[in-house]
Structure 1
Amino acid sequence: MNRIIYILFSCMLISCHAQDKSNNILLQNEIVSYTFETIADGILIPWGMVFLPDGSLLVTEKSGQLLHIKNKIKTEIKNVPSVYNRGQGGLLDIVLHPNYIQNGWIYITYASTEGDGEGGNTKLIRAKLENESLTQIEYLYKCSPNTTKGQHFGSRIVFDNQGYLYFSVGERGEHFVNPQDISRDNGKIYRLNDDGSIPRDNPFVGQANTKEAIYSYGVRNPQGLAKNPITGAIWEHEHGPQGGDEINIIKKGTNYGWPIVTYGLNYDSTIISTKQEIKGVENPLYQWTPSIAPCGMAFVTSNLYPNWKGHLLVGSLKFQYLELVKLRGTEIIGRQKIATDIGRMRNVIEGPDGYIYIAVEGKGILKIIPN
């Protein structure tokens, strides 16, 4: 009798929450203890966000606009390079140099038509902002060749504690060609010096027929990249196909397996790989099945959100919520829905004022204010 009651209780519990079948971690709803303040509205697809030292905000819009938001007023920045606005490509991420106050450098990734072949591919530049215009634009890296395919450009940018720049690029839909081949761009995490030169200790420097900017490889479509504020490690998340979104900790020269190992299926439910792990491939720290379509990620360090501090925030495009991924060191111990039914969430960052800001398609930039 007791066993029957336990089974009934378990079924009731599972029916109240969505469950990740492969990880067996329940996704719980949070009791709402916050409100939203609109910082900028009417932005169709906001992608990258970064705060300037004066507290104003730069936001990239995928179609090619770079917006400067100050006191809730939007000003379009001039002299932004033209972008290849196709599918998932366009104007993508934006970050400041760690010593921005001294040198003024801003780093941007976007889909560019420059280079060989029709279509476009992901490009990294840096520039300075003067009188609401980009100046001193410098080319740093351009993936090649171009392709007219519209998927998997990536892209996120982050600096580590040593001042190296990392940026992510998807495999452009060529999953049996690019991600496992270190002589080709795409499906990679790159590491550069801040001027675009290649660090001498990058893992493939000096090897024949390799892209020496590659730091790790075997990724599908990485749209989350963040520095762990405690360890300094670079964390990444990426879209799987139908299932198998992943969280990884980026390590030098490491293969993350796509597509030779995956927890996901093709969108027509056919098998991509029969293996979920093999020797020589790094297992994900965590994987979502079913897929949530993760986009944007941020570690919470602010005291304004005591229940979130020390954990990870990830946006969900598919289910239109913000997810709190609860951590114990590098172990994922829980999941919680934040800001449910808010819309397709493209990014999340913690501002210098300690508040969390989210970028939502069609709505713009919202500030989460705890009650």
Structure 2
Amino acid sequence: MEVMKSATVALAGLLAVLTTSCSSDTAASGKLGAATAEDDAAWPFAVEEVDTFDAPWAMAFLPDSDDLLVTERTGALHLRDGETGERVEVTGTPDVVDAGQGGLGDVLPGPTYDDDGTVYLTWAERGDDGVGAAVGRAQLVTGEDEASLEGLEVIWRQTPKTSGDGHFGHRLAFSPDGEHLFVSSGDRQLMDPAQDTGNTLGTIVRLTPDGQPAPGNPLADEGGVSAEIWSWGHRNPLGLEFAPDGTLWSSEMGPQGGDELNLVEEGANYGWPEVSDGSHYGGEEIPDHADGDGYAGPARSWNPSISPSSLMVYGGDLFADWEGDAFLGALSGEALVRVDLDGDTAGEAEVYDMGERIRAVEEGPDGAIWLLEDEGAGRLLRLTPA
């Protein structure tokens, strides 16, 4: 659980950069060294505070626009005007279960947004058998000083619903061609279902834009919800993003330690809870990932935990040297983490101490990096080259 992650990383001073070398033992384990005076001088960002929110969870820019959609876990959806900074609360949002890690989650304009205004949302909903994640789509209709969701329909539900209020996952990503919708689904803190492909807990699913199982999925012949699954053995994947080269990446919260950045591949089993580079919260050891164990190992892992909350793969030119690199928001780490990606390989990592829990990270239309701090601070920050 996010609330159980302990900030054991020594992060010294606001706006300090912690750098690990890809050739060092600490980089291989994900452990971070202490900040130095030289690190302070290397701070690469100018940081601008542009707004604040109460309980932000996700954000997305509208296509060809500076206008920004921001979700709050409590169920509110805001549309922020990129020119004036004014914002309106969008009406027509779904009823959500605002408890623990549940609530309104991700938001993403659909591939046909320019034609029909379709946006996709995720949230925690209640049913007869408990609570689970849902994905819906609706038309975003805007007018003078108002905005609404029209025709909201649920197109996918996490199966099965369970008790508890953690590990929903529910991040969204569209394939570059717009043909497939990927949804991350957490294990709901039950662990074992992540190895059972008869349900969608602990999986990443691949759907058509209307929520049906995508043709050609690895378990299509098994039918039912199994036909939705693209990969499994995940714990709580809270980041999901395509890189400019078309590879799909996920950031995933491990248990006590063992946070992961994964290259998501068709039909791969990522091992949870059979293997992990972390330990159970009670101290019980879990076998580490190892070559030949039959599971897909992480491209990078962190121990102690950083609590990755989100994922963005940079495709702009404002930070030209970082094109194709992964950026993770860190909760217990209170940081922005950059990982050098080269094809399917994750290399050097840098950790920028932000002094607050970072809930979401997004690339702006001009290549700036935008951050949302978690509830309690809630600032919307815009990062440009120093």
TM-score, normalized by the shorter chain, greater than 0.5: yes
Matched, 1:90 2:106: no
Amino acid at match of 2:71: T
Q: Is the 8 A contact 1:20 1:290 kept in 2?
A: no
Which structure 2 residues correspond to residues 53-202 of structure 1 after superposition, within 5 A? 53=63, 54-70=65-81, 71-114=84-127, 116-118=128-130, 120-131=131-142, 132-162=147-177, 163-176=179-192, 178-202=193-217
Task: Tell me the C-alpha RMSD between the 2 structures.
Answer: 2.1
Residue number among 259, 263, 271 corresponding to 1:257 in the alignment = 271
Amino acid at match of 1:33: P
Shift of 1:334: 1.1
- Report the number of matched residues: 350
Amino acid at match of 1:146: K
Q: Is the 8 A contact 2:134 2:157 kept in 1?
A: yes
Q: Is the 8 A contact 1:92 1:109 kept in 2?
A: yes
Shift of 1:139: 1.3
State the SS of the aligned residue for 1:262: coil
State the SS of the aligned residue for 1:113: strand
Shift of 1:275: 5.9
Q: Is the 8 A contact 1:65 1:77 kept in 2?
A: yes
1:320-364: CA deviations, max 9, x gaps?
0101112333322211122x1331111111111211111112233
- Pair 1:188–1:26, CA change in 2 (3 A): closer
Q: 1:272 & 1:161 partners in 2: Cα distance?
A: 36
Indicate the residue corresponding to 2:361 in structure 1.
348
Shift of 1:175: 0.2
- After TM superposition, the score normalised by the length of structure 2 is 0.85
Shift of 1:233: 1.4
Indicate the residue corresponding to 2:54 in structure 1.
44
Amino acid at match of 2:199: R
Identity of aligned residues (%): 33
- After TM superposition, the score normalised by the length of structure 1 is 0.88
Which structure 2 residues correspond to residues 161-310 of structure 1 after superposition, within 5 A? 161-162=176-177, 163-176=179-192, 178-207=193-222, 210-230=225-245, 232-273=246-287, 276=290, 278-310=292-324
Moved more, 75-84 or 94-103: 94-103
- Pair 1:251–1:17, CA change in 2 (3 A): closer
1:75-110: CA deviations, max 9, x gaps?
111110011111111111111112310132101111
State the SS of the aligned residue for 1:23: helix
Amino acid at match of 1:75: V
Which is greater in Rg?
1
Q: Is the 8 A contact 1:297 1:347 kept in 2?
A: yes
Q: Is the 8 A contact 2:110 2:119 kept in 1?
A: yes
1:191-222: CA deviations, max 9, x gaps?
10011122221111121565211111100000
Q: Is the 8 A contact 2:31 2:304 kept in 1?
A: no
Amino acid at match of 2:69: L
Q: 1:311 & 1:369 partners in 2: Cα distance?
A: 16
